[in-house]
Structure 1
Amino acid sequence: MKYKVLCSDLDGTLLSTKSDVSDFTISEINRIKSKLRIVLVSARMPRGMNYLQRRLSIEDQPLISYNGALVVDNEKTIASTEIDIQLLKEIYSLAEKHSIGLGLYSGDEWYVEENTERVRKEIRYTQTTPVFRSTEESLDDWKERSVGAHKIMLMGTANTANAISPELSEHFSDHLNIYRSNDTLIEIAPKAVSKLTAIKLLLKKDETMEDVISFGDNYNDIEMLQHSGLGVAVGNAREEVKAIANAIALPNTEHGVADYIQRHLVF
């Protein structure tokens, strides 16, 4: 089957390192980009994806950021779903109780309180820089501007993340998607959206999800892979992701997406 859209997660999937795509990946994307649309799909903010679009020479393509909470096409916003300020304040209050810091994201805005090692890693990996100010100041500013969050990052320790997780689920799971990025990080996003819902917004009238080939590695990629015409898990993907995938590629550090494209997408 000839696919019309290629959607790929970034971290742990298309990126061969923590912050960049390989020359092999660039070459393969350039080979096929006139034959099908290339859409980057990530939990990152747009600013943390734009440099990768430039590297791949696909700046004319739309972006799905924040796991589907914000879909943009160049300067145009296709869809935006935010966590409202009241929920933000409730999450902040609970995080304070557990001595957990927050990263607040909206559009290309990113606010944190402290320059921690976790924040420095994010700066290195995404080539973006946050504004350092108190969470209270950020929330007051957003309330004044009627701005909500596209994503919240809770940054604690393994112990504090373990302690807050059940409370987050109990109080917010009806309205928000809550998942552990790793032992110390918890990401929160609007529940009404996902990578899959965002991809569907970008399909043309004569296209369905059967026309999509997608690549991923983590829990937030499962729905996207399950509903694509072909869902491919990279070799380093979580076992639950591999279990639902139609195919398994090489690990991301071995340029799994590019290798799969080279071997299977022949025009």
Structure 2
Amino acid sequence: MKNLIPLKKSNFKILCSDIDGTLLSNQNDVSNFTVSEIARIKNVLRIILVSARMPQSMTYLQERLGLGEEPIICYNGALIMEGENEIFSRTMPLELVEGIYREAKKYNIKLGLYFKTEWYVETDSARVQKETRDTRATPVFRATATTLSDWKVRNVSAHKIMLMGTKESTDQIFPLLVKKFGEQLHLYRSNDTLIEVAPKSVSKLSAIKLLLQPGQSLMEVIAFGDNYNDLEMIQSVGCGVAVKNARAEVKVVADEVSLKNTEDGVAHWIQQNLIF
């Protein structure tokens, strides 16, 4: 853990939270306790949801939390939306997406391709069904080559790529992808069978910086997270909080560690530390 800093509530203006494994108390919803704690502080702090999810998989949570007036940071910072307004968008060069696809085919790894509110997969699977249930989004089933051809005609590309394999195939391909594409793309393992890919120039932290108001700094931000894509955000803000179920690397750089997400770690931390 980082050296702890005195927590002066008046110093903080923004609270940012990851969703999966952090804010959610189960696979696709937040608890009533979390809703009530967010309601208690939302007129004092801006509350911004920050996720690898696509927009429609975040807005239902935003509405449940009463945060419809705030922006959401989607796709690990590659897309920022405020209502129907697009504040920021950065996609990957299509030739790199095609390169990822060529490598994935060698290992029989399937891709999920995401652009704005579009989600494409080739075939149904337990993984796709799980994401559909957990995120309340529905994919379009079509060949990846067809999607890439369509995107080329439309001059668009991916905000996020999800590689879905087995532990063995993911273990094999991940170091190869990092070696070949690591200087041009962000690649990280969500779990043993999944690899997420995002544009190199963006991150959750870069998106938070874009949303700071004039005169504000990262030292006025509290951030919660659990996974590798939360590392930079957690270690760079004024107060970074890891939930207890977070990866060890995240807890090492955090200022504090709260309870597990399934124990409402974010809400308990807010209740104990943000008393106005």
Counterpart code for 1:224:
M
What does residue 18 of structure 1 align with?
Answer: 27
Match of 2:54 among 45, 68, 71: 45
- Tell whether the 8 Å contact from 2:21 to 2:245 is kept in structure 1 after alignment: yes
What does residue 96 of structure 2 align with?
Answer: 87
What does residue 129 of structure 2 align with?
Answer: 120
Residue 165 of structure 1, CA deviation: 1.1
Could you give the per-residue CA deviations for residues 9-44 of structure 1, whole angstroms, max 9, x where no partner exists?
Answer: 000000000110000000000111011100000000
Counterpart code for 2:41:
I
What does residue 225 of structure 1 align with?
Answer: 234
Residue 144 of structure 1, CA deviation: 0.7
- Give, in whole Å, the separation in 2 of the partners of 1:182 and 1:244: 20
> Normalization by structure 2: what TM-score?
0.95
Residue 225 of structure 1, CA deviation: 0.9
**Is the aligned partner of 1:168 residue 2:177?**
yes
- Give, in whole Å, the separation in 1 of the partners of 2:247 and 2:192: 15
What does residue 104 of structure 1 align with?
Answer: 113
- Give, in whole Å, the separation in 2 of the partners of 1:21 and 1:257: 10
Number of residues of Structure 1 aligned to a counterpart in Structure 2: 267
- Give, in whole Å, the separation in 2 of the partners of 1:110 and 1:16: 25
- Tell whether the 8 Å contact from 2:190 to 2:227 is kept in structure 1 after alignment: no
Match of 1:33 among 15, 36, 42: 42
What does residue 212 of structure 1 align with?
Answer: 221
Match of 1:183 among 176, 192, 198: 192
> Normalization by structure 1: what TM-score?
0.99
Match of 1:253 among 234, 243, 262: 262
Match of 1:156 among 162, 165, 169: 165
- Tell whether the 8 Å contact from 2:225 to 2:243 is kept in structure 1 after alignment: yes
Could you give the per-residue CA deviations for residues 91-113 of structure 1, whole angstroms, max 9, x where no partner exists?
Answer: 11111111110000011100001
Residue 157 of structure 1, CA deviation: 0.7
Counterpart code for 1:213:
I
Could you give the per-residue CA deviations for residues 138-157 of structure 1, whole angstroms, max 9, x where no partner exists?
Answer: 11111111111000000011
**Is the aligned partner of 1:77 residue 2:86?**
yes
Residue 77 of structure 1, CA deviation: 1.2
**Any runs of at least 4 consecutive aligned residues in structure 1 with deviations exceeding 4 A, and if so which?**
none
- Give, in whole Å, the separation in 2 of the partners of 1:192 and 1:179: 15
Could you give the per-residue CA deviations for residues 56-82 of structure 1, whole angstroms, max 9, x where no partner exists?
Answer: 010110000111111111111111110
Instruction: Out of 42-51 and 74-83, give the one that drifted further.
Output: 74-83
Counterpart code for 1:93:
R
- Give, in whole Å, the separation in 2 of the partners of 1:121 and 1:178: 22
CA RMSD of aligned residues (A): 0.7
What does residue 210 of structure 2 align with?
Answer: 201
Q: Percent identity?
A: 57
What does residue 265 of structure 1 align with?
Answer: 274
- Give, in whole Å, the separation in 1 of the partners of 2:170 and 2:246: 23
Mark the runs of 5 or more structure 2 residues left unpaired by the alignment: 1-7
Residue 86 of structure 1, CA deviation: 0.8
